[in-house]
Amino acid sequence: MLVVTLDDLAAMNAADRHGHRYELSPEGALSVTPLADSEHAAIASRLSAWLAMAGWPADQILQAVGVKIPGPDGDGGRIPDLTVWSAPQPRSVWLPLTGLVLAVEIVSPGSAAMDEVVKVREYAQAGIPRYWMVERDAAQTVTLHVLGPDNAYEVSAKMPLAWLLQTKPSDHHVDG
């Protein structure tokens, strides 16, 4: 049994005056990340606009929404920076994974190990079909992960964000 529930986590996120993000692994480990900066927000906005211009409905492109990650003793909760859904989602703090097409994490200072190791494993085990990770290097390198047959991610491509934005989401099997 998890000591912290998703309801507890929602209350912690709502009560934090400084904009910290509280997440819970499926095993019950609590993590706290600081408020995102303007570069982080600009990357999320650029990706959202790119998806919308390619035909994804705005109500299927969600920023910083909670998703339930099933675990052995209850659900964990993660808050990807951007999610893309196959259909509009009901109003909820923690959405089930049904219909989640893509989860995107934008690596912030201090979140690299979480985004590059922990979330790669958790999202793959949860069955999320695509996981993209955007580095905060000079090129804003995007690593595109695709779920393989063994429920582990395989890297399908790695490119600067500016290159990605010159393509179509359907070029990467993100079809709206």
Q: What is the pLDDT of residues 135-176, one digit of tens each?
A: 999 999 999 999 999 999 999 999 999 999 999 999 998 876
60 neighbors 48 (Cβ within 8 angstroms): no
- Rounded Cα distance between 122 and 85, Å, is 18
Do 127 and 113 form a contact (C-beta atoms < 8 A)? no
Distance CA 136, CA 171 (A): 23
**Does residue 143 form part of some domain?**
yes
136 domain-assigned: yes
Instruction: Judge whether 135 and 141 are in contact, CB under 8 Å.
Output: yes
Q: Does residue 96 belong to any structural domain of this protein?
A: yes
Work out the mean pLDDT of the chain and round it to a whole number. Answer: 92
| 19 in any annotated domain | no
How many whole angstroms separate alpha carbon 136 and alpha carbon 142? 9
pLDDT of residue 23 exceeding 60, the answer is yes
pLDDT digits (tens, 9 = 90+) for 37-94: 899 999 999 999 999 999 999 999 999 999 999 988 789 999 999 999 999 999 999 9
pLDDT at 3 over 90: no
Q: Look at residue 20 and tell me if it is in a domain.
A: no
Residue 109 confidence (pLDDT): 78
The pLDDT of 4-19, averaged and rounded, is 90
Residue 31 lies in a domain: no
- Residue 44 resides in a domain: yes
**How many structural domains comprise the chain?**
1
Residue 10 domain flag: no
CA dihedral 28, 92, 65, 148 (to 10 degrees): 70
CATH number at residue 135: 3.90.1570.10
pLDDT value of residue 103: 98
Q: Which residue has the tokens 């003793």?
A: 73
Structure tokens at 95: 């959405």
Check: CB of residue 135 under 8 Å from CB of residue 20. no
Is residue 15 predicted with pLDDT exceeding 80?
yes
CA–CA separation, 158 and 105 (whole Å): 14
Domain of residue 49, residue span: 36-172
Query: What SS3 class is residue 49?
Result: helix
